[in-house]
Amino acid sequence: MNSQQAYISVLLVFAVIVGGGASTALASAGGTASAVPEPRVQPQVSNGSVSNVTPALEFTSQTSYGTSVVLDEANLSAGGFVAVHRGEGTSGPIVGISRRLDRGAHQDVRVRLFDVPGRSFARTDLGRTQNLTAVPYLDTINNSRFDYVATNESTDFPYLCDGSLVTNPATVRVNDSGPANGTTGVLGEP
């Protein structure tokens, strides 16, 4: 390797480091370079959680009739579901689950409450104002069904971001008058 090739190699290594690893640069013996894109990061499932993914949720406080809630946005890098837990955090029971969401961003995602596969409920609505927490889950066996509850938490694990669960709490105020004829569980929506 001559000094010009060594200089090009050093510049390429520096470009890769400064560029944050967005692409890998390769230099041939002739001193030319080509960019090879990184492979798409695959979700890693380990110890009941999912990593190497970057989900984002926006679940804001809202008024509802207590039978459903709406997530403003759910962005799931590997697809899956968004579960709604009672209380703040994930220690409370799952009381709602979204439809299966493909990879990417989704707006105004409606989540019916008290309709969770593998779980029975004694009620059909929240009954009173409560804190709820939205949590994204990956469809780990790709069957388009939320199996986390039905399989005793052995499939469809929650997403992690930097080693922490992704959660978004919100207060859901319940309108005591009940839904008007022809409306759904969220106020102001047909």
Residue of higher predicted confidence among 148 and 185: 148
Q: Is the pLDDT of residue 80 over 90?
A: yes
Instruction: For residue range 67-77, list pLDDT tens digits in order.
Output: 999 999 999 99
- Residue 162: per-residue pLDDT: 84
Which residues lie closer than 8 Å to 120 by C-beta, 6 or more apart? none
Instruction: For residue range 42-55, list pLDDT tens digits in order.
Output: 444 444 555 555 67
Angle at 36 between CA 17 and CA 7, to 5 degrees: 50
Domains and CATH numbers, the chain: 3-37 (no CATH), 52-174 (2.60.40.10)
Terminal Cα distance for the chain, rounded: 71
- Please state, in angstroms and rounded to a whole number, the distance separating the CA atoms of residues 17 and 22: 9
Dihedral over Cα of 89, 90, 92, 96: its sign: positive
Count CB-CB contacts under 10 A for residue 57: 21
- Residue 186: per-residue pLDDT: 53
What mean pLDDT comes out for the span 60-66?
A: 97
Q: Percent of the chain at pLDDT above 70? A: 65
Distance of CA 91 to CAs 2, 86, 101, 138, Å? 62, 8, 24, 18
For 84, the token pair is 């709604």
- Residue 121: per-residue pLDDT: 94
- Residue 108: per-residue pLDDT: 98
- Residue 161: per-residue pLDDT: 86
Q: Is the pLDDT of residue 61 over 60?
A: yes
Instruction: For residue range 19-31, list pLDDT tens digits in order.
Output: 443 333 333 334 4
